[in-house]
Structure 1
Amino acid sequence: MESMNNPESLSLVIAAEQTVIRMYHALDRSDYSCASRCFTPDGIWERGGNALHGQQQILASLSQRSSTLFTRHYVTNFLVLEHSGSVAKAEFCLTVYRSDKGAPPTLPVDRAVAAMLADVECELAFSDRGDWLIRRLDPRITFAA
Protein backbone atom coordinates (compact mmCIF):
# COMPACT_ATOMS: atom_id res chain seq x y z
CA MET A 1 0.00 0.00 0.00
CA GLU A 2 1.38 3.39 -0.97
CA SER A 3 1.36 6.47 1.22
CA MET A 4 -1.46 8.91 0.46
CA ASN A 5 0.93 11.84 0.97
CA ASN A 6 2.53 11.97 -2.46
CA PRO A 7 1.21 13.80 -5.55
CA GLU A 8 0.52 10.60 -7.48
CA SER A 9 -1.62 9.27 -4.64
CA LEU A 10 -3.52 12.54 -4.43
CA SER A 11 -4.26 12.29 -8.16
CA LEU A 12 -5.54 8.75 -7.64
CA VAL A 13 -7.88 9.86 -4.84
CA ILE A 14 -9.25 12.72 -6.94
CA ALA A 15 -9.70 10.53 -10.04
CA ALA A 16 -11.37 7.72 -8.08
CA GLU A 17 -13.73 10.11 -6.32
CA GLN A 18 -14.59 11.81 -9.62
CA THR A 19 -15.59 8.45 -11.12
CA VAL A 20 -17.99 7.81 -8.24
CA ILE A 21 -19.39 11.34 -8.35
CA ARG A 22 -19.74 11.18 -12.16
CA MET A 23 -21.78 7.97 -11.80
CA TYR A 24 -24.19 9.47 -9.26
CA HIS A 25 -24.40 12.74 -11.22
CA ALA A 26 -25.45 10.79 -14.31
CA LEU A 27 -27.91 8.72 -12.25
CA ASP A 28 -29.54 11.90 -10.87
CA ARG A 29 -29.98 13.23 -14.38
CA SER A 30 -31.42 9.97 -15.74
CA ASP A 31 -28.39 9.44 -17.99
CA TYR A 32 -28.32 5.73 -17.28
CA SER A 33 -25.99 4.91 -20.15
CA CYS A 34 -23.34 7.23 -18.71
CA ALA A 35 -23.92 5.86 -15.20
CA SER A 36 -23.45 2.26 -16.37
CA ARG A 37 -20.23 3.17 -18.24
CA CYS A 38 -18.69 4.28 -14.93
CA PHE A 39 -18.44 0.56 -14.13
CA THR A 40 -15.99 -1.96 -15.56
CA PRO A 41 -17.61 -4.22 -18.18
CA ASP A 42 -17.88 -6.93 -15.48
CA GLY A 43 -18.52 -4.54 -12.58
CA ILE A 44 -20.87 -5.47 -9.75
CA TRP A 45 -23.35 -3.12 -8.08
CA GLU A 46 -25.16 -4.38 -5.00
CA ARG A 47 -28.39 -2.44 -5.51
CA GLY A 48 -31.66 -2.91 -3.69
CA GLY A 49 -30.71 -6.36 -2.41
CA ASN A 50 -29.71 -7.59 -5.87
CA ALA A 51 -26.27 -7.95 -7.38
CA LEU A 52 -26.20 -6.37 -10.82
CA HIS A 53 -23.42 -7.87 -12.95
CA GLY A 54 -21.92 -5.88 -15.80
CA GLN A 55 -22.75 -2.67 -17.57
CA GLN A 56 -25.69 -4.15 -19.50
CA GLN A 57 -27.47 -5.49 -16.42
CA ILE A 58 -26.86 -2.21 -14.60
CA LEU A 59 -28.28 -0.25 -17.54
CA ALA A 60 -31.31 -2.55 -17.79
CA SER A 61 -32.07 -2.14 -14.08
CA LEU A 62 -31.70 1.64 -14.13
CA SER A 63 -33.89 1.91 -17.22
CA GLN A 64 -36.79 0.47 -15.17
CA ARG A 65 -36.80 3.44 -12.79
CA SER A 66 -39.89 5.64 -12.72
CA SER A 67 -39.70 8.41 -15.31
CA THR A 68 -40.95 10.89 -12.67
CA LEU A 69 -38.43 9.88 -9.99
CA PHE A 70 -36.27 12.81 -8.91
CA THR A 71 -33.14 12.03 -6.88
CA ARG A 72 -30.01 13.64 -5.60
CA HIS A 73 -27.09 11.55 -4.32
CA TYR A 74 -24.45 13.20 -2.13
CA VAL A 75 -21.05 11.57 -1.64
CA THR A 76 -19.15 12.62 1.49
CA ASN A 77 -16.22 11.38 3.56
CA PHE A 78 -14.59 9.76 0.52
CA LEU A 79 -11.50 7.85 1.58
CA VAL A 80 -9.15 5.66 -0.44
CA LEU A 81 -8.18 2.94 2.00
CA GLU A 82 -5.59 1.24 -0.14
CA HIS A 83 -4.32 1.00 -3.66
CA SER A 84 -1.90 -1.21 -5.44
CA GLY A 85 -1.12 -0.69 -9.10
CA SER A 86 -4.38 -0.74 -11.00
CA VAL A 87 -6.76 -1.45 -8.09
CA ALA A 88 -8.03 0.88 -5.37
CA LYS A 89 -10.38 0.31 -2.45
CA ALA A 90 -12.40 3.20 -1.10
CA GLU A 91 -15.21 3.94 1.33
CA PHE A 92 -17.59 6.87 1.46
CA CYS A 93 -20.91 7.99 2.89
CA LEU A 94 -23.92 8.39 0.63
CA THR A 95 -27.00 10.50 1.31
CA VAL A 96 -29.95 10.10 -1.05
CA TYR A 97 -32.89 12.44 -1.44
CA ARG A 98 -35.81 11.20 -3.53
CA SER A 99 -39.20 12.38 -4.65
CA ASP A 100 -41.69 10.71 -6.94
CA LYS A 101 -45.09 12.33 -7.05
CA GLY A 102 -46.12 10.76 -10.34
CA ALA A 103 -45.33 13.91 -12.31
CA PRO A 104 -42.14 15.73 -13.20
CA PRO A 105 -41.01 17.70 -10.13
CA THR A 106 -41.25 21.42 -9.82
CA LEU A 107 -38.25 23.00 -8.17
CA PRO A 108 -37.70 23.44 -5.38
CA VAL A 109 -39.06 20.07 -4.28
CA ASP A 110 -41.21 20.48 -1.16
CA ARG A 111 -40.17 19.00 2.17
CA ALA A 112 -37.01 17.28 1.05
CA VAL A 113 -35.97 14.66 3.56
CA ALA A 114 -33.11 12.22 3.14
CA ALA A 115 -34.53 8.89 2.01
CA MET A 116 -31.40 6.96 2.88
CA LEU A 117 -27.94 7.16 4.40
CA ALA A 118 -25.40 4.48 3.56
CA ASP A 119 -21.81 3.53 4.17
CA VAL A 120 -20.43 2.40 0.83
CA GLU A 121 -17.53 0.10 0.01
CA CYS A 122 -16.14 0.64 -3.46
CA GLU A 123 -13.48 -1.10 -5.49
CA LEU A 124 -12.10 0.64 -8.57
CA ALA A 125 -9.87 -0.58 -11.38
CA PHE A 126 -7.66 1.42 -13.73
CA SER A 127 -8.87 0.76 -17.28
CA ASP A 128 -6.96 0.33 -20.52
CA ARG A 129 -8.35 3.75 -21.56
CA GLY A 130 -6.46 5.38 -18.68
CA ASP A 131 -9.33 6.10 -16.29
CA TRP A 132 -10.70 4.62 -13.07
CA LEU A 133 -13.89 2.57 -13.27
CA ILE A 134 -16.01 1.04 -10.52
CA ARG A 135 -15.41 -2.69 -10.22
CA ARG A 136 -17.65 -3.22 -7.18
CA LEU A 137 -20.08 -0.91 -5.40
CA ASP A 138 -21.62 -2.14 -2.18
CA PRO A 139 -23.77 0.30 -0.15
CA ARG A 140 -24.68 -0.71 3.41
CA ILE A 141 -27.78 1.21 4.44
CA THR A 142 -27.39 2.74 7.88
CA PHE A 143 -30.58 4.86 7.97
CA ALA A 144 -33.71 4.58 5.84
CA ALA A 145 -36.78 6.83 5.84
Structure 2
Amino acid sequence: MDSEALDPLDRLIAERACERLIIQFVRTLDLGAPGEVAELFTPDGVWEWAAGGRRVEGRDAIRAYFASRPADRLSRRLCTNILVTLTSGSTASASTYFTTYRVDGHTGGMLPPRLPVQVGHYEDTFRETGGRWLLAERATYLDFGGPTARLGPA
Protein backbone atom coordinates (compact mmCIF):
# COMPACT_ATOMS: atom_id res chain seq x y z
CA MET A 1 0.00 0.00 0.00
CA ASP A 2 1.28 3.48 -0.93
CA SER A 3 1.89 5.72 2.07
CA GLU A 4 -0.32 8.42 0.53
CA ALA A 5 -3.28 6.00 0.47
CA LEU A 6 -3.09 5.36 4.23
CA ASP A 7 -5.92 6.48 6.43
CA PRO A 8 -4.72 9.51 8.47
CA LEU A 9 -5.26 7.60 11.73
CA ASP A 10 -3.27 4.59 10.46
CA ARG A 11 -0.49 6.98 9.39
CA LEU A 12 -0.45 8.60 12.84
CA ILE A 13 -0.35 5.23 14.60
CA ALA A 14 2.55 4.03 12.41
CA GLU A 15 4.50 7.26 12.92
CA ARG A 16 3.96 7.08 16.67
CA ALA A 17 5.09 3.43 16.76
CA CYS A 18 8.37 4.44 15.07
CA GLU A 19 8.85 7.41 17.43
CA ARG A 20 8.25 5.15 20.40
CA LEU A 21 10.82 2.67 19.07
CA ILE A 22 13.45 5.43 18.91
CA ILE A 23 12.71 6.39 22.52
CA GLN A 24 12.59 2.77 23.67
CA PHE A 25 16.02 2.22 22.10
CA VAL A 26 17.76 4.96 24.12
CA ARG A 27 15.87 4.06 27.29
CA THR A 28 16.99 0.43 26.98
CA LEU A 29 20.61 1.48 26.45
CA ASP A 30 20.57 3.91 29.39
CA LEU A 31 18.29 2.24 31.93
CA GLY A 32 17.92 -1.37 30.84
CA ALA A 33 20.15 -4.13 29.59
CA PRO A 34 22.01 -2.73 26.54
CA GLY A 35 22.06 -6.07 24.70
CA GLU A 36 18.25 -6.05 24.65
CA VAL A 37 18.22 -3.26 22.06
CA ALA A 38 18.80 -6.05 19.53
CA GLU A 39 15.14 -7.06 19.96
CA LEU A 40 14.15 -3.67 18.50
CA PHE A 41 15.83 -4.58 15.19
CA THR A 42 14.67 -6.89 12.43
CA PRO A 43 16.61 -10.21 12.43
CA ASP A 44 18.74 -8.84 9.55
CA GLY A 45 18.99 -5.36 11.07
CA VAL A 46 22.06 -3.18 10.58
CA TRP A 47 23.73 -0.51 12.73
CA GLU A 48 26.48 1.52 11.08
CA TRP A 49 28.51 4.61 11.82
CA ALA A 50 28.95 6.96 8.87
CA ALA A 51 32.58 7.68 9.79
CA GLY A 52 35.07 4.96 10.59
CA GLY A 53 33.55 2.05 8.71
CA ARG A 54 32.02 0.40 11.80
CA ARG A 55 29.05 -1.79 10.85
CA VAL A 56 27.19 -4.41 12.89
CA GLU A 57 24.88 -6.73 10.94
CA GLY A 58 22.17 -9.02 12.27
CA ARG A 59 20.32 -9.17 15.56
CA ASP A 60 22.81 -11.58 17.18
CA ALA A 61 25.78 -9.35 16.32
CA ILE A 62 23.93 -6.24 17.57
CA ARG A 63 23.12 -8.04 20.83
CA ALA A 64 26.75 -9.07 21.32
CA TYR A 65 28.02 -5.58 20.48
CA PHE A 66 25.84 -3.76 23.02
CA ALA A 67 26.04 -6.48 25.68
CA SER A 68 29.84 -6.06 25.68
CA ARG A 69 29.63 -2.50 27.01
CA PRO A 70 31.30 -1.88 30.38
CA ALA A 71 29.02 -2.84 33.27
CA ASP A 72 30.05 0.34 35.13
CA ARG A 73 29.00 2.69 32.29
CA LEU A 74 26.56 5.46 33.16
CA SER A 75 24.94 7.05 30.13
CA ARG A 76 22.01 9.28 29.35
CA ARG A 77 20.89 10.13 25.84
CA LEU A 78 18.60 12.97 24.91
CA CYS A 79 16.71 12.67 21.63
CA THR A 80 14.86 15.46 19.90
CA ASN A 81 13.67 16.66 16.49
CA ILE A 82 12.30 13.19 15.67
CA LEU A 83 10.89 13.31 12.16
CA VAL A 84 9.26 10.09 10.91
CA THR A 85 8.23 9.74 7.28
CA LEU A 86 6.14 6.80 6.11
CA THR A 87 7.51 5.52 2.82
CA SER A 88 4.83 2.84 2.36
CA GLY A 89 2.22 1.05 4.44
CA SER A 90 4.96 -1.10 6.01
CA THR A 91 8.14 0.98 5.78
CA ALA A 92 9.26 4.30 7.22
CA SER A 93 12.33 6.44 7.71
CA ALA A 94 13.28 8.87 10.47
CA SER A 95 15.87 11.43 11.43
CA THR A 96 16.59 12.06 15.14
CA TYR A 97 19.04 14.42 16.83
CA PHE A 98 20.78 13.04 19.92
CA THR A 99 23.13 14.14 22.68
CA THR A 100 24.99 11.56 24.79
CA TYR A 101 26.37 12.03 28.29
CA ARG A 102 28.51 9.07 29.38
CA VAL A 103 31.20 7.95 31.84
CA ASP A 104 32.76 4.62 32.70
CA GLY A 105 33.72 3.62 36.24
CA HIS A 106 30.47 4.78 37.81
CA THR A 107 29.81 3.13 41.19
CA GLY A 108 26.66 5.02 42.15
CA GLY A 109 25.37 8.40 43.11
CA MET A 110 24.99 11.67 41.29
CA LEU A 111 27.93 13.14 39.38
CA PRO A 112 28.84 16.79 38.80
CA PRO A 113 27.65 18.10 35.41
CA ARG A 114 29.76 17.18 32.41
CA LEU A 115 29.86 18.10 28.77
CA PRO A 116 28.28 15.61 26.36
CA VAL A 117 30.59 13.10 24.69
CA GLN A 118 28.53 12.97 21.48
CA VAL A 119 26.14 15.16 19.54
CA GLY A 120 24.80 13.96 16.23
CA HIS A 121 21.84 12.38 14.52
CA TYR A 122 20.45 8.99 13.61
CA GLU A 123 19.04 8.13 10.19
CA ASP A 124 16.73 5.14 10.59
CA THR A 125 14.68 2.89 8.37
CA PHE A 126 11.83 0.84 9.83
CA ARG A 127 9.89 -2.17 8.67
CA GLU A 128 6.58 -3.39 9.98
CA THR A 129 6.83 -7.13 10.54
CA GLY A 130 4.02 -9.23 11.95
CA GLY A 131 2.14 -6.17 13.24
CA ARG A 132 5.24 -4.71 14.96
CA TRP A 133 7.47 -1.89 13.76
CA LEU A 134 11.21 -2.64 14.04
CA LEU A 135 14.45 -0.93 13.10
CA ALA A 136 15.81 -2.32 9.84
CA GLU A 137 18.81 0.02 9.63
CA ARG A 138 20.33 2.73 11.80
CA ALA A 139 23.14 5.01 10.65
CA THR A 140 24.86 7.21 13.24
CA TYR A 141 26.33 10.56 12.24
CA LEU A 142 28.50 12.34 14.80
CA ASP A 143 29.01 16.08 14.48
CA PHE A 144 30.77 16.33 17.84
CA GLY A 145 32.42 13.44 19.66
CA GLY A 146 35.09 12.58 22.14
CA PRO A 147 36.31 9.74 24.32
CA THR A 148 34.28 8.35 27.21
CA ALA A 149 35.85 9.47 30.50
CA ARG A 150 36.73 6.85 33.11
CA LEU A 151 36.14 7.91 36.69
CA GLY A 152 38.96 7.36 39.14
CA PRO A 153 38.59 5.69 42.54
CA ALA A 154 36.35 7.56 44.97
**1:85: which partner in 2?**
89
In structure 1, how many angstroms separate the alpha carbons of the residues matched to 2:13 and 2:32? 28
Q: Among residues 62, 66, 91, which one is paired with 1:62 in the alignment?
A: 66
Shift of 1:3: 8.2
Aligned length: 142
Match of 1:71 among 63, 67, 75: 75
Q: Distance in 2 between matches of 1:4 and 1:49?
A: 37
Partner of 1:20: 22
Residue by residue over 1:4-28, the C-alpha shift from the partner in whole angstroms, topping out at 9 and shown as x without a partner, is 9922211111110111111111111
Unaligned 5+ segments in structure 1 are none
Which of 116, 122, 125 is residue 124 of structure 2 equivalent to?
122
Q: Which residue of 2 aligns with 1:39?
A: 41
Kindly report the root-mean-square deviation, in angstroms, between the aligned alpha carbons of the 2 structures.
Answer: 2.0
Distance 1:103 1:94 in 2: 22
Aligned to 1:131: 132
TM-score for both structures, normalised by structure 1: 0.88
In structure 2, stretches of 5+ residues that fail to align are 147-154
Query: Which structure is larger by alpha-carbon Rg, 1 or 2?
Result: 2
Taking only the aligned residue pairs, the percentage that are identical comes to 28
